[in-house]
Structure formats: C-alpha cells, structure tokens
C-alpha cells in the first residue's frame, strides 16, 4: 500500500492505495465520484478524462500514486454553488449528448481546450476531441456546444443556473 494526498475538486484526500490502482478507480471507488466513467480501460475512448493539474488526462492511463500531491478536477468539480459550468450548460442547450456516457470526458477535454485556446475554430475543436469517442452522435452538436461555451466564456459568462 502507498499513501497518497490529492486534492480533488478542491477537497483534500489522504488514502492508502495499491500502487497499481488507476486514477479512474481511485476517483470512483475510493472517494465515490462516479461522474468519471470507465469506458474501455485502454485509453481509446476518453470517457474517463479529468483535469490533472489543469491539463486533460485519461484517468485510466494514470496511476493514483502519480497524482500524489496533484490537483484533480472531475466533472463534479465544474459546477459552482449549484450552477452549471458554461460547457455543461452548452451541452444541454445544444443537445451535445444522447446517452450521456461520453459526456463527462467530452466536457473535461473541452475545458482543457478552452483553457489554452479560448477561441478555437471548428477544426481545432474536432482535433481536440479526437481522443474522445461518442457512439451515439455525429459530433455536430458536441462541436456546436463547445462553440457556444467558448462564446459565453469570451463574453464573460461563467456559471449558469441549473434547473
């Protein structure tokens, strides 16, 4: 066992983990944050994408011990005082989801994109989401949602009240 200290969504956690525990399993099983989905365990689908020290990573490729001392943000950490993040609101508005399984990973990858490219072109959005698979949509509404969120955030919008 190895002791790790990690901040997840602004909250500090200290846990003993098996050295081979993946970050996705730590998030889901050790601290109960099930918004991060396990899709393939082979880094192909992107459903498990989270932010690790502000950068998008597929949490099925990161060991929990590698996150020791780091800041992790999951889909649950995007809302602020019950208000949706602009990307969450835009996915809802633009119907950027169908079954919703890939949605947390798509949103977290999009947060990463917009953090370093606040005005992406359609091509840049599609390129940034290449590592995230959706089996339900044609990606059109997902791209549209990212464009809406980028415009909202550029205009100074932040959180949107959840219904």
Domain range 2-77, CATH class: alpha beta
Query: Which CATH number, 1.10.150.120, 3.90.420.10, 3.30.70.20, 3.30.830.10, labels domain 83-161?
Result: 1.10.150.120
**CA–CA separation, 64 and 25 (whole Å):** 8
pLDDT at 162 over 70: no
- Residues sharing a CB contact under 8 Å with residue 73, sequence separation 6 or more, in sequence order: 8, 9, 50, 51, 54, 108, 111
Give residue 158's pLDDT: 66
Q: Express each pLDDT in 68-127 by its tens digit.
A: 999 999 999 999 999 999 999 999 999 998 899 999 999 999 999 999 999 999 999 999
Give residue 40's pLDDT: 86
Name the residue ranges covered by the structural domains of the chain. Answer: 2-77, 83-161
CB 149 within 8 A of CB 90: yes
49 - beta bridge partners? 58
Q: Express each pLDDT in 131-157 by its tens digit.
A: 999 988 779 999 999 999 999 999 986
Residue 5 backbone dihedrals phi, psi, to 5 degrees: -125, 120
Q: Express each pLDDT in 3-36 by its tens digit.
A: 999 999 999 999 999 999 999 999 999 999 999 9
CA atoms within 13 A on the CB side of 36: 31
């Amino acid at each position: 066992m190895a002791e790790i200290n990690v901040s997840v969504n602004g909250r500090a956690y200290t846990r003993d983990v098996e050295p081979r525990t993946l970050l996705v399993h730590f998030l889901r099983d050790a601290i109960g944050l099930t918004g991060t989905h396990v899709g393939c365990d082979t880094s192909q689908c992107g459903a498990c994408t989270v932010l690790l020290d502000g950068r998008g990573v597929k949490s099925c490729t990161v060991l929990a011990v590698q996150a020791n001392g780091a800041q992790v943000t999951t889909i649950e950490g995007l809302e602020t005082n019950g208000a949706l993040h602009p990307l969450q609101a835009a996915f809802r508005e633009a119907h950027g989801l169908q079954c919703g399984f890939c949605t947390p990973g798509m949103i977290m990858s999009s947060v990463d994109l917009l953090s370093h490219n606040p005005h992406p072109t359609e091509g840049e959005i599609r390129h940034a989401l290449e590592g995230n698979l959706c089996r339900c949509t044609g990606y059109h509404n997902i791209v549209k949602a990212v464009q809406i969120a980028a415009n909202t955030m550029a205009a100074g919008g932040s959180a949107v009240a959840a219904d």
